[in-house]
Structure 1
Amino acid sequence: MVISTASVWDEIADELADGTVIEYEDATVYGDFEQDQILHQGAVRVLPNGWIALPTGRLLSPEAVHHIDP
């Protein structure tokens, strides 16, 4: 498995610049590079401001998320 060391925000910055919301039906959100800290598994929405919206209505800060595996 190849894991990028680049921030998820670098990868999707262009898509978010136009106000687009990115939705994943089944994703894993990690809080660290080693993939030891799983913050969420399931559906997520990446909002234009970089925050991650969960189906429960909770939000994950862009600073808390290392990367998302769709």
Structure 2
Amino acid sequence: MIAPAEPILDALSELFEDDYESVVIYGDVDGETVLHEGPATIRANGWVELPSGRLLSPEAVHHVDTYPGA
């Protein structure tokens, strides 16, 4: 029996997710538009998941500054 591909892909994508305790997510190159500060998960597909469950699309996020150990 062949397993469905979607659950396998979901399990593999979790391996490439990065959880951060402290990030600042910016929506512009100048860093004037802060979209989020605090913990976040950066998913393998480029989407950013906030603790509330809200997702930020890769198109909305210009860059993310991470602060390891903070």
- Give the AA of the match of 2:57: S
**1:22 paired to 2:18:** yes
| Long gaps (5+) in structure 1 | 1-17
Matches within 5 A, 1:29-44: 29-44=25-40
> Aligned-residue CA RMSD in angstroms?
1.1
- Give the AA of the match of 2:31: Q
Cα deviation, residue 23, structure 1: 1.3
Alpha-carbon distance between aligned partners in 2 of 1:24 and 1:35, rounded to the nearest angstrom: 19
Identity %: 47
Cα deviation, residue 58, structure 1: 0.2
Alpha-carbon distance between aligned partners in 2 of 1:64 and 1:54, rounded to the nearest angstrom: 14
| Long gaps (5+) in structure 2 | 1-11
Number of equivalences: 53
Alpha-carbon distance between aligned partners in 2 of 1:26 and 1:63, rounded to the nearest angstrom: 21
Alpha-carbon distance between aligned partners in 2 of 1:23 and 1:33, rounded to the nearest angstrom: 23
What secondary structure sits across from 2:23 in the alignment? strand
Alpha-carbon distance between aligned partners in 2 of 1:68 and 1:36, rounded to the nearest angstrom: 13
Matches within 5 A, 1:1-70: 19=13, 20-70=16-66
